[in-house]
Amino acid sequence: MEAVLGEAVRLLDEAGESALTFRALAARLGGGVASIYWYVANKDELLDRATDHVLAGVLDATEGLAATDDPLADLRVIAVTLFDAIVDRPWLGAYFMRNTEVQPHALRLYERMGQQVLRLDLGPRDSFHAVSAVIGYVVGTAADLGRQPPAEVLEGEVDRDEFLAQYADQWRQLDADAYPFLHLVVDEFAGHDDADQFRAGLDLLLAGLRLQAASSR
């Protein structure tokens, strides 16, 4: 099973979900298509198990972290580690926790994040919403940032900074009275770093959770 899942992950990394067929996987493994069915029933199960195979690495990366006195700082470390994994593998976000029956590592990761929230002494509803909000932000943002770049960037016609500058120039031409917010943030948009933007948003989310925990005491 480990060999099957490892090769499935490599195929997904190279060319995405469309490249992962039982025929292509069997060819990589040097066997017949029928041999794959010894391990998984269909492609959906294969995708779920391949996702869980990668999430085992996220668990390993956060396993040895020493707990601090700040549960939200510890939650942030886990969230950033998951974010980095999904940015590197854009396909991963689509299958995260899709079927926890065959994704024990995903469930353990969810539990690990939840245990940090438990330390805030929130009620069941707020605890559930807190972890859901963090995971939704991490997975959604990482999947968006991991998408294939626009064609002109991919083909080398312009680099990322030049691509953003084109849109920034368009924003600057807009009526400032009609678009005051765009005029306020345009310089930040033009020079922003995606990873920094993610971390800033995560910090805002966690700051709100910290306030909620303080108000509930």
pLDDT tens for 16-32 read: 888 888 989 988 888 88
Query: Which pLDDT tens digit goes with each residue over 147-170?
Result: 656 667 666 777 888 888 999 999
Task: Parse the chain into domains and list their residue ranges.
Answer: 59-215
What angle is formed at CA 57 by the lines to CA 205 and CA 74, rounded to 5 degrees?
Answer: 35
The pLDDT value recorded for residue 163 is: 84
What confidence score (pLDDT) does residue 66 get?
A: 67
Q: Which two tokens stand for residue 146?
A: 């991991």
Provide the pLDDT for residue 156.
Answer: 72
Residue among 36, 16, 18, 11 nearest 26 (CA): 36
Q: What is the pLDDT of residue 153?
A: 63
For the chain, list residues with pLDDT below 70: 66, 146-151, 153-155
Q: What is the pTM of this model?
A: 0.86
Give the torsion through C-alpha atoms of 167, 172, 174, 178, to 10 deg.
Answer: 120
pLDDT score, position 65? 74
> What CATH number does the domain located at 59-215 have?
1.10.357.10
- Number of Cβ within 10 Å of residue 79's Cβ equals 25
Q: What is the pLDDT of residue 159?
A: 80
Tokens of 118: 């438990």
The two most distant CA atoms of the chain are separated, in Å, by 66
Instruction: Specify the pLDDT at position 88.
Output: 85
List CB contacts of 13: < 8 A, sequence separation 6 or more.
89
